[in-house]
Structure 1
């Protein structure tokens, strides 16, 4: 289906790093197609940004909240 940065298959949750794609417009298009396939298969995607990497607690809270939301659904 798709390769993701980090996956929680039991929750159908993918975690992706959302960085800058300099000079790679084709990559952006293929990434969007991959995300569309994930959504069509019932997966949710959470994006981690550079700011999350600077604040690991924030990153953990973001992923934890998404996992809890998927578990409750």
Structure 2
């Protein structure tokens, strides 16, 4: 399996799991992946999600 496929599966697993409305994305990723804060933050960055946001969606491309 390719790395992109695995990232996409992880993104959708985190996106579809329940979270509190005010919970930050890095905290949600940390809790769901059973990791520390630094790894939860890095997961968001690797998946293209704003770590400090509260809506777990991929950030829009700022090109153009």
Q: Which has the larger radius of gyration?
A: 1
Structure with the greater relative contact order (CA < 8 A, sep ≥ 6): 1 or 2? Answer: 1
TM-score, length of structure 1 as denominator length: 0.27
Of Structure 1 and Structure 2, which has the larger fraction of its residues in strand? 1
TM-score, length of structure 2 as denominator length: 0.30
